[in-house]
């Protein structure tokens, strides 16, 4: 987690009327992020905190957090502001209309604003998405998006095995294999530079 933006993103999430619970998973952070979460949890009962006793990776954190969910829908939100919580209604719309079992927020469709950043990140994303589409027979535009929403019973019914950053292709493959209905919606994207904390290279 990025402690500098954590309080801002937590508050941005809690400001959305659609949010019935906010599950924060501490994957053994070393930057005192947990203290920020616990302080806010003292004032908002919607915040629930899960903890790992060792750093296990993003996939493991998502697996643990998803297991704690109790509301009908689950939205994954990274602990930064690259993805805007104000777009939750857009992500939830196909689920609420019973058209989808999973919704992917795409950075590459529609006319939403997005920050222009790294060419090779874009190429890598396209290649991963193409390979995923070939293996799943889907036509996603942005498989690697970190902005996804699910019916709770669907995502909790999938056995997630990846601990590091393999969650995106794994969950996509298992949704496709299960015949789940997947929608994409256009989202805005406010990416970060390496100097701002971007880790993926």
In three-state form (DSSP H/G/I as H, E/B as E, the rest C), the secondary structure along 143-191 is CCCCCEEEEHHHHHCCCCCCCCCCHHHHHHHHHHHCCCCEEEEECCECC
Q: Helices marked H in 46-118 — which ranges?
A: 58-68, 88-96
Closest CA to 104 of 75, 73, 68: 75
* Residues forming beta bridges with residue 48, ordered by sequence position: 23
Distance CA 12, CA 87 (A): 11
Tokens, residue 67: 């297991």
pLDDT < 50: residue spans in the chain: 1
Torsion sign across C-alpha atoms 151, 51, 187, 106: negative
Question: Do strands 182-186 and 102-106 pair parallel, antiparallel, or not at all (unpaired)?
Answer: parallel
Where do we find the tokens 């789940």? 180
Residues 69, 75, 77, 81, CA torsion sign: negative
C-alpha span between 43 and 198 (Å, rounded): 30
Four-residue CA torsion sign, 169, 170, 174, 180: negative
Return the pLDDT at 192. 63
| pLDDT score recorded for residue 201 | 56
pLDDT at residue 114 in the model = 79
| The pLDDT of residue 190 | 87
Of 40, 39, 49, 50, the C-alpha closest to 14 is 40
Q: What is the pLDDT of residues 141-192, one digit of tens each?
A: 999 999 999 999 999 999 999 988 899 999 999 999 999 999 999 999 987 6
What confidence score (pLDDT) does residue 191 get? 77
Strands 73-75 and 102-106: unpaired
Q: pLDDT at position 1, please?
A: 44
User: Which CATH architecture group holds 3-196?
Assistant: Alpha-Beta Complex (3.90)
């Amino acid at each position: 987690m990025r402690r500098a933006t954590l309080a801002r993103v937590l508050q941005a999430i809690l400001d959305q009327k659609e949010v019935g619970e906010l599950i924060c998973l501490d994957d053994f952070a070393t930057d005192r992020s947990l203290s920020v979460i616990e302080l806010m949890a003292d004032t908002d009962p919607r915040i629930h905190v899960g903890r790992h006793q060792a750093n296990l990776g993003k996939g493991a954190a998502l697996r643990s957090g998803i297991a704690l969910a109790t509301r009908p829908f689950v939205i994954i939100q990274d602990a930064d502001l690259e993805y805007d919580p104000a777009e939750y209604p857009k992500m939830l719309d196909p689920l609420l209309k019973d058209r989808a079992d999973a919704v992917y927020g795409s950075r590459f469709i529609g006319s939403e604003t997005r920050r222009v950043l790294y060419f090779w990140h874009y190429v890598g994303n396209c290649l991963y998405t193409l390979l995923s589409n070939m293996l799943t027979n889907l036509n996603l535009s942005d498989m690697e998006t970190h902005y996804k929403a699910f019916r709770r019973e669907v995502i909790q019914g999938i056995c997630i095995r990846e601990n590091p950053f393999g969650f995106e292709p794994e969950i996509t493959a298992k949704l496709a294999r299960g015949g789940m209905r997947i929608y994409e919606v256009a989202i805005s994207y406010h990416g970060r530079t390496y100097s701002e904390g971007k880790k993926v290279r």
